[in-house]
């Protein structure tokens, strides 16, 4: 299929080049848009349009073929409440997702770009976020004596990393490096669907599939072998709300919503700004239409006519006005002269 698209693309490219050559040597007419020049331009534009459309179809076909040749299963589309244009993130789900991250994911994965102050107003109050920050120990310094010391965490501190450096992380995970989860949803194709399928898609490997020690089979991971074991299971965490079941699907969903928030903390603000801009733009467009339609209607509908009779009448009126002005000036001068004579 890709070869057919390439051959069709080359033919259209040759057609466009020949059209350009024919129109380039053709003399320009005095009236552009008429005659043979116009038909040549139409052919050229048609060829360029067909070439552009074919290039787009070729790119789409190549991308589809690459996706089809992938060795991993494509994640199924899940229903997410925050996917709507006017929908917001579920703050309760974000709070439960933070609990899942803290109790399950934080032992291997970091959130180095998120601070405890980011939790305030989203899924926690300031007092709750401050208590979460004080539960960690931060190495700070140097102090006045030049020594480093340990202190309780503050709201301005970022989430701690489970390992001191990359080498320690690889040593603890059989050579694999657990990625940072701050932007994992935005960084993976499929977003929340991929992360959800990865967390819930562990199964036994098919016959003939060999796994090295320390690896687990997951059809949603490239290659099928992943170093992270199955960490999401029923009742692996307990939620504050007893009405929310701690099933594997619910746990995976909540942590995906939390990671969506860490990837794009400003999502709700952007959508709110979109609503404001839309309303203000509609108001301004209405005012602009009113001004154009009514205020400028007299100027748009104004017509100028040349009528000889009116021109002659205007000349006579101008001459009479000039005579009246001259007569008024003469009378004023005579009056001044008479006054001067009386004084003498």
Neighbours of 47 (CB within 10 A): 19
Cα distance between residue 54 and residue 47, in whole Å: 10
- 203 labelled binding-site residue: no
Identify which of 136, 113, 218, 226 has the alpha carbon closest to the alpha carbon of residue 178: 226
Is 272 strand, coil or helix?
Answer: helix
Count of all residues that appear for the chain in the document: 344
Kindly list the distances between the CA atom of residue 47 and the CA atoms of 16, 17, 52, in Å, as whole numbers in the listed order: 5, 9, 9
- 336 labelled binding-site residue: no
- Which stretches within the chain are classed as H helix? 2-25, 35-68, 91-100, 126-134, 166-172, 184-187, 192-200, 248-263, 267-290, 297-300, 308-343
- 109 labelled binding-site residue: yes
- 1 labelled binding-site residue: no
Cα distance between residue 229 and residue 231, in whole Å: 6
Binding residues: 105, 108-109, 228
Binding residues for heme c: 105, 108-109, 228
């Amino acid at each position: 299929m890709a070869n057919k698209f390439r051959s069709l693309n080359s033919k259209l490219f040759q057609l466009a080049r020949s059209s350009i050559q024919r129109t380039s040597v053709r003399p320009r007419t005095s009236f552009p848009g008429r005659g043979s020049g116009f038909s040549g331009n139409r052919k050229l534009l048609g060829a360029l349009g067909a070439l552009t459309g074919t290039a787009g179809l070729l790119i789409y076909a190549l991308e589809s073929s690459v996706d089809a040749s992938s060795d991993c299963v494509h994640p199924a589309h899940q229903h997410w409440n925050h996917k709507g244009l006017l929908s917001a993130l579920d703050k309760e789900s974000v709070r439960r997702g933070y609990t899942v991250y803290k109790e399950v994911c934080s032992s291997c994965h970091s959130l180095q770009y998120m601070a405890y102050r980011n939790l305030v107003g989203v899924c926690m109050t300031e007092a709750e976020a401050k208590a979460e920050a004080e539960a960690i120990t931060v190495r700070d310094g140097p102090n006045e004596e030049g020594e480093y010391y340990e202190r309780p965490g503050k709201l301005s501190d970022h989430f701690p990393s489970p390992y001191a450096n990359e080498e320690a992380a690889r040593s603890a995970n059989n050579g694999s490096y657990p990625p940072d989860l701050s932007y994992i949803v935005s960084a993976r194709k499929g977003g929340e669907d991929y992360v959800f399928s990865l967390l819930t898609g562990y199964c036994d490997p098919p016959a003939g599939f060999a796994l090295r020690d320390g690896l687990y089979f997951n059809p949603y991971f490239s290659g099928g072998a992943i170093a992270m074991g199955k960490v999401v299971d029923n009742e692996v965490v307990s939620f504050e709300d007893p009405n929310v079941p701690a099933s594997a699907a619910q746990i995976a969903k909540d942590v995906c919503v939390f990671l969506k928030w860490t990837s794009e903390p400003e999502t709700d603000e952007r959508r709110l700004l979109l609503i404001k801009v839309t309303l203000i733009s509609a108001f301004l467009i209405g005012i602009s239409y009113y001004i154009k339609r009514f205020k400028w209607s007299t100027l748009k509908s104004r017509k100028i006519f040349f009528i000889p009779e009116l021109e002659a009448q205007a000349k006579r009126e101008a001459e009479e006005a000039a005579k009246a002005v001259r007569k008024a000036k003469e009378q004023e001068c005579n009056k001044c002269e008479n006054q001067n004579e009386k004084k003498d």
